[in-house]
Amino acid sequence: MNVNIKIKLFATLRALTPETAEHYSIPTGTTVHALLEQLKVPVEEVNLVFINGNCGNLTSILEGGDRLSVFPSLGGG
């Protein structure tokens, strides 16, 4: 069964945003990691994952209606 999620890729990852990012179809039980691989987002460049405004990570399982935001490593120190 498939569900729809919303995807936002930020900063240097933005270019990899899929056409149907506003209502992207994924099978139930897809992890963030699996989705990013599908989108050809280099997972090692991902530093922050937010799902519905809460901090998640690569192993988080996505559910229908989720809003996924993904941020690259651009910090400092």
Partner 1 sequence: MPYGYNGKILHVNLTDLNFEIEIPEDIFYRKYIGGSGLAAYYLLKNIGPGVDPLGPENILIFTGSVVTGAPFSGFSRYTVAAKSPLTGGFGESEAGGYFGPELKFSGFDAVVIKGKAPKPVYLWINNGRVELKDAEAVWGLGNAETLDKIREEVGDDKARIASIGPAGERMVLFANVMNELAHANGRCGLGAVMGSKHLKAIACRGDAKHLEFADAERVKKLVSWHNQRIKEHLPNQNLRKYGTPMFVVGLNKAGILPTRNWRESVFEGAEKIGVPSYEKILKRNATCYRCAVGCKRVVETAEPYFVSPRYGGPEYETLAAFGSLCGIDDLGAVAKANELCNHNGLDTIGTGSVVAFAMECFENGVLTAADADGQKILFGDADGMLWLVDKIANREGLGDLLAQGVKRAAQKMGDKAQAYAFTIKGQEIPLHDPRGKTGIGLSFALSPTGADHVETPHDTIFVGDAVKLLAPLGILDPVDPLALDEAKVRFFKQGQLSWGLNNVLGICNFVDAPLFALSYEKLVEAVNAITGWETSLWELLRATERSEVMAKIFNNREGFGSEDDRLFRRLHEPIPAGPLKGQRIDPEQMKKAIQLYYEMMGWDEQGRPLPAKLHDLSLGWLMETESDGYPR
Residue ranges that bind partner 1, judged by CB under 8 A? 8, 10-12, 44-50, 53-55, 57-58, 67, 69, 71-77
* E strand residue ranges, 10-76: 24-27, 46-51, 54-56, 67-72
- Cβ at position 1, least distance to partner 1 in Å: 26
DSSP 3-state of 10: coil
Q: Which is nearer to partner 1, 26 or 49 (CB)?
A: 49
CA of 30: how far to CAs of 38, 39, 77, in Å? 11, 13, 34
Report phi then psi at 75, rounded to 5.
-75, -145
Q: Which is nearer to partner 1, 19 or 76 (CB)?
A: 76
- Cβ at position 65, least distance to partner 1 in Å: 15
- Cβ at position 51, least distance to partner 1 in Å: 9
Q: Which is nearer to partner 1, 1 or 15 (CB)?
A: 15
Quickly tell me which residue has 């139930």 as its tokens. 28
